[in-house]
Amino acid sequence: MISLNGSVFLNNSLTGASKSLSHSPQRRVQYPVLVAAVSSNGRSGERNVTLLMENTLKEMRDDSAAAEVEPKFAVGGGVEDVYGEDQATEDQPVTPWTVSVASGYSLLRDPHHNKGLAFSEKERDAHFLRGLLPPVVVSHNLQVKKMMHNLRQYQVPLQKYMAMMDLQEMNERLFYKLLIDNVEELLPVVYTPTVGEACQKYGSIFRRPQGLFISLKEKGRILEVLKNWPQRKIQVIVVTDGERILGLGDLGCQGMGIPVGKLSLYTALGGIRPSACLPITIDVGTNNENLLNDEFYIGLRQRRATGQEYAEFMQEFMTAVKQNYGEKVLIQFEDFANHNAFDLLSKYGTSHLVFNDDIQGTASVVLAGLISALKLVGGNLAEHTFLFLGAGEAGTGIAELIALEMSKQTGAPIEESRKKIWLVDSKGLIVSSRMESLQHFKKPWAHEHEPVKELVDTVKAIKPTVLIGSSGAGRTFTKEVIEAMTSFNEKPIVLALSNPTSQSECTAEEAYKWSQGRAIFASGSPFWPVEYNGKVYLSGQANNAYIFPGLGLGLIISGAIRVHDDMLLAASEALAAEVTQENLDKGLIYPPFTNIRKISAHIAVKVAAKAYELGLATRLPQPENLIAYAESCMYSPNYRSYR
Ligand SMILES: NC(=O)C1=CN([C@@H]2O[C@H](COP(=O)(O)OP(=O)(O)OC[C@H]3O[C@@H](n4cnc5c(N)ncnc54)[C@H](OP(=O)(O)O)[C@@H]3O)[C@@H](O)[C@H]2O)C=CC1
Ligand SMILES: CC(=O)C(=O)O
Ligand SMILES: [Mg+2]
């Protein structure tokens, strides 16, 4: 290869005008000039070019052999026809060379390197940008200010979302600087609640594909599909099959908004390099009739594959991921329906570095919130009684981690700790008389009690100190429910975890109003501060976004090969430790997101330390100063200077 003006030209025996291959001394077959340029950092283009070169060489050999029989073509490059396309006949295959040079026009359209108006005068000269930009040179900060100004003009959240996605596709570092510098304001745009609406309307708003779509059409070829992704060094994959998107149900292929959103938080909140993140949607069909009948739907138009067909497809996917990216790529399962989620986690938890965000990440964030909340209400976990509305991934995941922590604190067997925790599903309180018909993940929670159907009656019967909504069913914490909680608790702890906002079990305003300002409240999607009786109440966001970026960073920096429950507990403790007295005084059981990068680094340190302690870390020796190491590994969105 030779480098010229920032371009790299493949220069081997194939380059040079009308290079000929002479496999046979008798016959000579002329081939077009093959010159391919790739961007100077050798990113996506290089592998593709190499592959194309290999394929072309193979074709040449095949053609050459064919030419022994009958020379079909005699192609030579025309004037400046470096690819030999001018003279190619219709039945003659040509290679669709892509030329991408990290300079000039292409540089402006490469989101990883583009700086827009922030290119310096020197860079404009060195990279052939003169005339392609207006003359002004602006700072990164001014670009952020302008983008925020523009975003604030949009009244409709979905418009903000689309503007953010466009920016991500146009100038990645500006996107991340914007998100990091304005995290409280922009999190609800790129994440819940707006991402929910974006997924619902994904078919209509779809402009450019993000991430990898792996559908049943690719069965048997998943490894090949993974190789089409331009980046080789992937550290985190967030994968969904779109069957349980937030509390919005089956959105099929349109669930892609979720892995894309989660991974943008991995970068912005956890400092994982964007090029190391890969969003994937597995499309095995959808059972959503509206989507199946929607002419703009972008996924497979068939009902979901299930059973063996589904399992085999996932097996091929998991095997291909490990084969392509190695043992240490983190796979986060996201928004799978519970009939697959638990099985996938237990099946791959022992062979891959996997975790389920809805089961485990949510558990960790809620436990952290409870550790903080108990500082306000007093008592330890074992002295409290917990009631969940919703006994699926989030509900049973959280319940199990609480029980685990309770047992660690008291030394009691986990079966004993579980007895302090009650769950309600769509059929009512989970009790032992229902055991036979319960899904396996509910069985540990089937305690002795008479059946109770209504939530309000359950609250009155169980008298919980903590009420947690994880049902995906909005408006289920009614006035009567909150009033019942308030009748026997001085400070009822109420967590409405369901997303997006439309599915929240109650609003912050309702929680404070119906409890006469006594509730300690947090929710999965954010609520504005509430004024009640002349006092302003701030509620925290009980969302796994506090955990997965730091957890992922900790796993990566330690080179962990498996996720262990003790890492989730460590993450909870680390997050709870970030809640200040000042936060608690305001009723906040989570720290503000403004400090999230520092918080993620601290979570990462505790997770990494646990990985070393458990013998699951492979990055040896252990760095002496883990916090300094974690921080040094974190991606910064600052522009780089181009030589
Ligand atoms: N804040 C956060 O960080 C997170 C929030 N979530 C949210 O939690 C919600 C649930 O997610 P997940 O646990 O994965 O979903 P699942 O489908 O696994 O579980 C839902 C559970 O809620 C029960 N349920 C549904 N409707 C009602 C109702 N009207 N009354 C009583 N119970 C009901 C279901 O009952 P049955 O089993 O009988 O069908 C099931 O047990 C979603 O809205 C999701 O967005 C999830 C993860 C993280
Ligand atoms: C936050 C999240 O993961 C969910 O609602 O599914
Ligand atoms: Mg989720």
Give per-residue pLDDT as tens, 149-207.
999 999 999 999 999 999 999 999 999 999 999 999 999 999 999 999 999 999 889 88
pLDDT for the residue 258: 98
Give the CA distances from residue 410 to residues 12, 18, 381, 417, 573, in Å, rounded to whole numbers and listed in that order: 70, 80, 9, 9, 17
| Helix, strand, coil % over all residues of the chain, rounded to 5 | 45, 10, 40
Distance between CA 148 and CA 125 in Å, rounded? 29
Pocket flag, ligand 1, residue 245 (CB < 6 Å): no
pLDDT for the residue 279: 98
Q: Which residues line ligand 2 (CB under 6 A)?
A: 192, 246, 335, 357-358, 499, 524, 543-544
Number of neighbours of residue 406 by Cβ within 10 angstroms = 24
Is 288 a known ligand-binding residue? no
% of the chain residues with pLDDT over 70: 84
**63 or 450, which is more confident:** 450
- Give the distance (Å) from ligand 2 centre to CA of residue 29: 60
- Does the pLDDT value for residue 85 go beyond 70? no
Block residue for tokens 């093959």: 34
Residue 576 in contact with residue 371, Cβ under 8 Å?
yes
Is 123 a known ligand-binding residue? no
pLDDT for the residue 90: 62
- Give the distance (Å) from ligand 2 centre to CA of residue 544: 7
Catalytic residue, candidates 191, 202, 310, 325: 191
Class of domain 104-183 (CATH, top level) = mainly alpha
pLDDT digits (tens, 9 = 90+) for 459-485: 999 999 999 999 999 999 999 999 999
Residues of the chain with CATH 3.40.50.720: 360-542
Distance between CA 605 and CA 627 in Å, rounded? 6
Residue 321: pLDDT band (50, 70, 90) is: very high
The separation between the first and the last C-alpha atoms of the chain, rounded to the nearest angstrom, is: 20
pLDDT for the residue 100: 55
Pocket flag, ligand 1, residue 18 (CB < 6 Å): no
**33 or 58, which is more confident:** 58
Is 228 a known ligand-binding residue? no
Residue 88: pLDDT band (50, 70, 90) is: low
pLDDT for the residue 208: 86
Pocket flag, ligand 1, residue 110 (CB < 6 Å): no
- Does the pLDDT value for residue 552 go beyond 90? yes
Of the candidate CATH numbers 3.40.50.10380, 3.40.50.970, 3.40.50.300, 3.40.50.2000, the domain formed by 546-633 belongs to 3.40.50.10380
pLDDT for the residue 612: 98
Is 335 a known ligand-binding residue? yes
- Give the distance (Å) from ligand 3 centre to CA of residue 496: 15
- Does the pLDDT value for residue 578 go beyond 60? yes
pLDDT for the residue 643: 80
Pocket flag, ligand 1, residue 244 (CB < 6 Å): yes
Specify whether 191 is catalytic. yes
Residue 467: in which H helix or E strand, if any? strand 466-469
**32 or 451, which is more confident:** 451
Return the amino acid letter for 466: V
- Does the pLDDT value for residue 229 go beyond 80? yes
% of the chain residues with pLDDT over 90: 82
Specify whether 546 is catalytic. no
Q: For ligand 3, a single-atom ion, which residues have Cβ within 5 Å?
A: 334-335, 358
pLDDT digits (tens, 9 = 90+) for 617-640: 999 999 999 999 999 999 999 998
Block residue for tokens 């709870």: 576
Written as one string, the DSSP assignment of 44-61 is: HHHHHHHHHHHHHHHHHH
Instruction: State the average pLDDT over residues 108-114.
Output: 94
Residues of the chain with CATH 1.20.1370.30: 104-183
- Give the distance (Å) from ligand 1 centre to CA of residue 342: 14
- Does the pLDDT value for residue 368 go beyond 90? yes
Assigned token pair, 236? 């985190």
Which residue from 243, 269, 358 has its CB within 8 A of the most atoms of ligand 2, so it is best to mutate? 358
Q: Which of 515, 539, 522, 610 is nearest to 572 (CA)?
A: 610
pLDDT for the residue 219: 98
- The residue whose CA has the least distance to atom 15 of ligand 1 is 392
Residue 72: pLDDT band (50, 70, 90) is: very low
Distance between CA 576 and CA 572 in Å, rounded? 6
Under the phi-then-psi rule, with left for phi > 0, alpha for psi from -120 to 50, and beta for the rest, what region is 215?
beta
Residue 35: pLDDT band (50, 70, 90) is: very low
- The residue whose CA has the least distance to atom 6 of ligand 2 is 246
Instruction: State the average pLDDT over residues 8-13.
Output: 30
User: Under CATH, which architecture does the 360-542 domain have?
Assistant: 3-Layer(aba) Sandwich (3.40)
Pocket flag, ligand 1, residue 500 (CB < 6 Å): no
- Does the pLDDT value for residue 128 go beyond 60? yes
Is 499 a known ligand-binding residue? yes
**Ligand 1 atom at minimal distance to the Cα of residue 390:** 22
193-356 placed in CATH 3.40.50.10380: yes
- Does the pLDDT value for residue 209 go beyond 80? yes
pLDDT for the residue 567: 98
Residues of the chain with CATH 3.40.50.10380: 193-356, 546-633
